[in-house]
Amino acid sequence: MTDTPRPGQATPELSAQYAPGEVEQRRYEQWVADGLFKADAGSDKPPFSIVLPPPNVTGSLHIGHALDHSVQDALTRRKRMQGYETLWLPGMDHAGIATQNVVERQLAADGLSRHDLGREAFVERVWQWKQESGGKILGQMTRLGDSVDWSRERFTMDAGLSRAVLTIFKRLFDDGLIYRAERIINWCPRCLTALSDIEVEHSDDDGELVSIRYGDGENAIVVATTRAETMLGDTAVAVHPDDERYQHLIGTEVELPLTGRRIPIVADAHVDPAFGTGAVKVTPAHDPNDFEIGQRHDLPSLTIMDDHGVITVHGPFLGLDRFEARPAVVAALRAEGRIVAEKRPYMHAVGHCSRCNTTVEPRLSLQWFVRTEPLARAAGDAVRDGRVRVEPPELTKRYFGWVDNMHDWCISRQLWWGHRIPVWYGPNGEVVCVGPDDEVPAGDGWTQDADVLDTWFSSALWPFSTLGWPDETPDLAKFYPTSVLVTGYDILFFWVARMMMFGLYAMDGRQPFDVVMLHGMVRDQYGKKMSKSFGNVVDPLDWIERFGADATRFTLLRGANPGADVPVSEEWVQGARNFANKLWNATRYGLANGATVEGELPTEDLSTVDRWILSRLQHVIGEVDQQFEAFELAKVCDTLYHFAWDDVCDWYLELTKPVLTGDDEAAKARTRRVLGHVLESLQRLLHPIMPFVTEELWTTLTGRPTVVRAEWPTPDKELADDSAEREVENLQRVVTEVRRFRADQGVKPAQRVVARLEGLAAAGLAAHEGLMRSLARLDAAGGDFAATAKLAVGVGVTVELDTRGAIDVAAERARLTKDQAAAEKEAAQCRAKLGNPAFTGKAPEAVVAKIRERLETAEADLARVAAQLEALQ
RNA sequence: GGGCGCGUAGCUCAGUGGAAGAGCACCCGCCUUACAAGCGGGGGGUCGUUGGUUCGAACCCAACCGUGCCCACCA
């Protein structure tokens, strides 16, 4: 093998194996130092922008982030190479409850509560925590290779974003889209705050349905409940207006057991006469349905629990926790003989706090709400009229289901960490909403609302608040609307719909993003959800450490088609690591054989093999582009994997060996140039997926500074060459068939077999005899040649081999007989089909032709096998 | 309770009207000077079931079975 370094350049050296750890840190630091990820709002280039879904400040990088970020980075890096002015904006979410819980736990370790510190000191303490231990995840992002613009990092509580929050709150307030009201809300008795619908998770819990008789004699009415303790707050019993059984009771009163209170029996269409007894106890202060019934019938609301879920009424139960009160109330009722049916198990959906899993208590409470109806309608319309595209489209149904049925959004939280509600109450009942540039009311008796806003309120502003809104900044002008939002389908409703509502509202009807790309969840190799208790959780940092960031990314992206869950396993990441190594060694081969990227790509006198690989490359570029535009990153990975491994490594590199070790210097120079082009193109194509190894290889191969801003390949139609592709395919068939024969016959790979090739000229393969001999390890027939085996390989080429002493005739005959039977069956099927007038009459001509072709092939196979059998005699 | 998916090789998944594919796993043979994290070869599926539409169905339709997810104020 010759070793001819490029003029004026030292021979680059690569070790035999790729060692990612050595490369990654060095490369990332250089990229940042060179400002390669920085966006320029003043550029003339077309914009491409993504805002990173802000991770919680309490979070650290888990495998789901790794997937999410890998997708965004791949999209961003490709667009950057395509010449777009590219911004990927990073940042974090202040994560109200989650963060407050973390700091409260720290305090609890010292025996303190947040109330011991007081509000101001507590918030100060949280900020301090954030400075010291928050935001670990941002550092971890560098390990993945995220090409984010660090100069634009934002935090939902920083000054600019807080101003955006105040601005939009004020605007919504003035438009009558924010209001304060007493409503049934989800209350977490542990976090001591209201929760929105999306912060409540439903699970089917075991409950017990008990039937209780209210009243006596003629007036008795039986109700059923799973929450017996709430009967203490009942202010009515409701029945369906048409329910025959209770006509005589409607409008009367009944005595509520244990309390001595008399409550009315009302008729309400909400009641399902078929469920239970058809009579419902009504507790307006502790059940959303009951609240509405209460509103319709002007019933009083009687609150029976405090913030902690402790009973506040009725002597015997006073001070009991809600779960203690339940059996206590049942026992007391039983003592009075009012339990008319034994308790029976009952599975029903119960809400739990998404932060601490405490059972949520529906509770009447004075809170702030966003009136979502007009906002949600606009959010739905933007998708309906095609301004925003959802990938995969199937998920639009879920999106509509959500935005079209949205309840008003409870936005006040009884927490201290967050954006404080900018409303002040005056001594005479004044309510003043204070915008960012307004004077805060001063004087005696003015107090600010104590609550803070739901965390999702500020994250809903993320696509524009991070770009400088409400100011008309160059960033906002250049990068809004953002190009694509990438996130998991699990937060389509939580977050995406809210960004749509606020984006359309704040930006005068302009959508926050053009495309929503939803990926799936990362799962284990059996498709199981990852969970700590199951022990199947993968730590991406561990994988990056052991297999490299590129291998980790490739493993994730290889499953990342829109909407699809992504199973991963250690075996698979090993495979990806092997792939990185394969690329590494292909480039090593190129470097050792003088592959070059200097000078024009030759077009004259190219070998068939060179024309073939260039043609394949054009197809691959086209395919990859299509797949990228459809966000089908799994397919991108698959296409490039097979091109790199099968076409380039297994065939092309092998096929260049005779030329590159030969002595035709002109031919060698051409192939070196083509080889250099193919390798560096492949590296550019793979860079969005595997940034580190491609950077290392590309810079080494080309001597240029970085592939990060290298030009993305475009297909060159001039280089497409069908005849070269066909020729090489035929060559491959010959080689493969001979290899198969050798393997079946147990001929050692190293053993040269003497052979004669016939029919090459007719098959158009005359020029490639040397290549085929080299790949199939066939020597030219010499003087004592005796054809002991004859191989017809299907493209009109016959190989006669001298395998004296090397083959097992009986085994080969058995195999050929099997082949013969298969070919006969195939031929028979095709003949039957072609003999069927219904088929030939109705099927498209192309299909019929295809069947004819199959028949020809089958017949040729039959002839081939027959010839081989004969030769074996 | 409502809605949306899925069921293809041992595992994870592509394929969506023309006669079944990949990765890994498995079997056989090889340290053939880019790579043993490799090379060459191979076995393996009546495409959940049953009907229907069609010349033709993994693909379209219906029912059923299995399975997953989302939403949900029948006590």
Q: Is the CB of A347 under 7 A from strand B?
A: no
Task: Say whether pLDDT at A529 is over 70.
Answer: yes
φ/ψ (deg, to 5) at A709: -115, 20
A682 and A689 in contact (C-beta within 8 Å)?
no
Joined tokens for residue A664: 């035709």
Q: What is the DSSP string of A498-535?
A: HHHHHHHHHTTT--SEEEEEEE--EE-TTSPBP-TTTT
Q: Taking residues A298-320, what's their average pLDDT? A: 86
Average pLDDT, chain A: 88
Q: What is the predicted pLDDT for the residue at A342?
A: 64
Name the H helices within A82-118: 96-109, 114-117
Joined tokens for residue A106: 């720290």
Task: Say whether pLDDT at A9 is over 60.
Answer: no
3-state secondary structure of A412: strand
Q: Which helix (H) or strand (E) holds A579?
A: helix A570-592
Bases on strand B under 7 Å from any protein CB: 2-5, 11-14, 18-19, 22-25, 28-42, 54-56, 69-75
Closest alpha carbon to C1' of B17, residue? A843
Chain A window 485-524: residues with CB closer than 7 Å to nucleic chain B are 490, 493, 523
Q: What is the dihedral of CA A817, A819, A825, A829, to 10 degrees?
A: -160
- With CA of A18 and C1' of each nucleotide, the nearest comes out as B37
The spacing between the Cα labelled CA in A790 and the C1' in B22, in angstroms, equals 33
Joined tokens for residue A592: 């050792």
Chain A window 804-843: residues with CB closer than 7 Å to nucleic chain B are 829-830, 832-833, 836, 838-839, 842-843
The spacing between the Cα labelled CA in A810 and the C1' in B29, in angstroms, equals 19
- With CA of A645 and C1' of each nucleotide, the nearest comes out as B35
Nearest to A59 by CA among A27, A20, A91, A32: A91
A200 and A407 in contact (C-beta within 8 Å)?
no
Please count the residues of chain A. Answer: 873
As a whole number of angstroms, the distance between CA A693 and CA A30 comes to: 14
Nearest to A416 by CA among A112, A106, A124, A166: A124
Residues 6 or more apart whose CB falls under 8 angstroms from that of A475 comprise A41, A87, A152, A467, A468
- With CA of A592 and C1' of each nucleotide, the nearest comes out as B34
Residue for token digits 């396993």?
A: A569
Q: Taking residues A207-231, what's their average pLDDT? A: 84
3-state secondary structure of A378: helix
Q: What is the DSSP string of A187-217?
A: EETTTTEEE-GGGEEEEEEEEEEEEEEES-G
Q: Exposed, middle or buried by CB within 10 Å (0-12, 13-18, 19+), for A220?
A: middle
ipTM entry: 0.95
A380 and A401 in contact (C-beta within 8 Å)?
no
A704 or A318: which carries more pLDDT confidence? A704
Residues 6 or more apart whose CB falls under 8 angstroms from that of A834 comprise A840, A848, A851, A852, A855
A314 or A498: which carries more pLDDT confidence? A498
Residue for token digits 């210097």?
A: A665
A235 and A294 in contact (C-beta within 8 Å)?
yes
A612, amino acid identity: W
A219 and A246 in contact (C-beta within 8 Å)?
no
A78 and A706 in contact (C-beta within 8 Å)?
no
Task: Say whether pLDDT at A315 is over 50.
Answer: yes
Nearest to A143 by CA among A519, A550, A583, A693: A550
A702 and A634 in contact (C-beta within 8 Å)?
no
Q: What is the predicted pLDDT for the residue at A302?
A: 85
Q: What is the predicted pLDDT for the residue at A10?
A: 37
CA atoms lying within 13 Å on the CB side of residue A533: 0
Strand partners, A780: A755
pLDDT digits (tens, 9 = 90+) for A799-857: 888 877 666 777 777 777 877 888 888 888 888 888 888 888 888 888 888 888 888 88
3-state secondary structure of A19: coil
